[in-house]
Structure 1
Amino acid sequence: MLPISAASNWNIHQLCDDLNDNGFALLDHAYSDDFFLQIREECLENLQEFKDAAIQNGVVSQIRSDHILWINPELPTAYQHIKALEVLSDLLNQNFYLGIKNVEAHFACYNPGEFYALHRDNPQQKNHRIISTVLYLQEKWQENWGGLLRLQDKHGNWHLIEPHPNRLAVFQSDLLHEVLAAQQQRLSITGWLRSDQNLW
């Protein structure tokens, strides 16, 4: 099992510089190969439990078509990722005084043709999400398979982020972004570092 201190091995200095400069950062090879395969396998083993994310409060959303499964301690491998994000939260609080107090995350599956249209995770500071994260879980990815994260940085410039295996994307939750339609099944863990109290 992954040590909770795993995030301390990440290049936090570079990550903080990139967040400060542009509002987003990428961390490739986020975890060991062994742990990456374990967390991917846990995702695949639970695909039948995923729910349609397009239905919210009984209403069909037109902006997304992915499927999700919220992560809790009953998913022990993925929950270690949440614990690592908690370590990252402490480090970001030390550097930016963000007041992060909690982490939530879910597995996400985009089947061929599925997408998430342009949006902000925290529009006009209407919720407690401060930092968004995406850990990509597919074993390989080709550019023509789509599924890229299209993100506008804090200066208004647009970036296309490929979902490379074991890549962790970290960005401000108020930035505009979208997931372009995937041509192959695309797996990930989406997480948010929040300023409210523990959900558990």
Structure 2
Amino acid sequence: MEILDLPITWNLEQILDDLAQHGFSVIDNAYPTTFAHEVLNECMDNLQKFRNAGIQNGVQSHIRSDHILWIDTQLEIAQQHIHTLKILSDALNRAFFLGINDVEAHFACYHTGEFYALHRDNPHGKNGRVISTVYYLHETWEEDWGGQLHFKDKNDVWHTLIPKPNRIALFQSDLLHEVQLAQQQRLSITAWLRNDQTIW
């Protein structure tokens, strides 16, 4: 099955099979190097606008310490990634009848010592998040720098995924997962494929 505009490095058949069998999939070398550099630069250029994600309505959460910036239409490079995720959503809808009709996304920055403890993006179906995605933006990453995505798949098997540059992780939003303590600045775009209307 081929879908127009998906990057050639995205093996759709493998993605669909991985999601069906395990509830997650990984795409390495997701985009051409030029685009990867452009979206990283866009992220870096806007770091001063990021806010502490752990503070909601003036209350500090102890579950996370990262910083985020929601992606709007002014962030034109990141919007190209969202466009690609919408194309992928169409394929997921055809394969799994998920009813995905929207994508919400933000840049995320984990400074040294920051983390996101175990949680689910859609616990007990309380929101419209169906598939969670993380696209890693930083140029280099060493295994001992931490920041791994640690998660349990749909078969209750635990995995630890290194945040390699230009890698995308996709997983069911109801899966238990965490971002382990980062030892270096860790940059990404986190996006959710939703079956409702996005509310920020």
Instruction: Give the Cα–Cα distance (whole angstroms) in 2 for the partners of residues 118 and 54 of structure 1.
Output: 14
Percent identical = 60
Amino acid at match of 1:54: G
Say whether the 8 Å CA contact 1:8–1:87 is kept in structure 2: no
Corresponding residue for residue 77 of structure 1: 77
Instruction: Give the Cα–Cα distance (whole angstroms) in 2 for the partners of residues 81 and 175 of structure 1.
Output: 23
Amino acid at match of 2:52: D
Instruction: Give the Cα–Cα distance (whole angstroms) in 1 for the partners of residues 13 and 194 of structure 2.
Output: 21
Structure 1 segment 17-166 matched on structure 2, within 5 A: 17-166=17-166
TM-score (norm 2): 0.95
Say whether the 8 Å CA contact 1:121–1:173 is kept in structure 2: yes
Instruction: Give the Cα–Cα distance (whole angstroms) in 2 for the partners of residues 159 and 8 of structure 1.
Output: 26
Between Structure 1 and Structure 2, how many residues are aligned?
Answer: 197
Listed as ranges, the gaps of 5+ residues in structure 2 are none
CA shift at 1:199, angstroms?
5.7
Tell me which moved more, 56-65 or 13-22: 56-65
Instruction: Give the Cα–Cα distance (whole angstroms) in 2 for the partners of residues 49 and 135 of structure 1.
Output: 20
Say whether the 8 Å CA contact 2:112–2:185 is kept in structure 1: yes
SS in 2 for 1:174: coil
Instruction: Give the Cα–Cα distance (whole angstroms) in 1 for the partners of residues 90 and 199 of structure 2.
Output: 17
Amino acid at match of 1:70: W
SS in 2 for 1:43: helix
Tell me which moved more, 8-17 or 162-171: 8-17
Listed as ranges, the gaps of 5+ residues in structure 1 are none
Pairwise CA RMSD: 1.4
Corresponding residue for residue 6 of structure 2: 7
State the Cα deviation string for residues 92-120 of structure 1 (Å, max 9, x = none): 00110000010000000000000000000
TM-score (norm 1): 0.95
Instruction: Give the Cα–Cα distance (whole angstroms) in 1 for the partners of residues 29 and 139 of structure 2.
Output: 12
Tell me which moved more, 6-15 or 128-137: 6-15
Say whether the 8 Å CA contact 2:7–2:31 is kept in structure 1: no
Structure 1 consecutive aligned stretches of length 4 or more whose deviation exceeds 2 Å:
5-9, 197-200
Say whether the 8 Å CA contact 1:146–1:181 is kept in structure 2: yes
CA shift at 1:8, angstroms?
5.5
SS in 2 for 1:184: coil
Q: 1:177 to 1:198 in 2, by over 3 A?
A: closer
CA shift at 1:56, angstroms?
1.2
Say whether the 8 Å CA contact 2:133–2:170 is kept in structure 1: yes
Instruction: Give the Cα–Cα distance (whole angstroms) in 2 for the partners of residues 14 and 163 of structure 1.
Output: 20
Instruction: Give the Cα–Cα distance (whole angstroms) in 2 for the partners of residues 94 and 157 of structure 1.
Output: 27
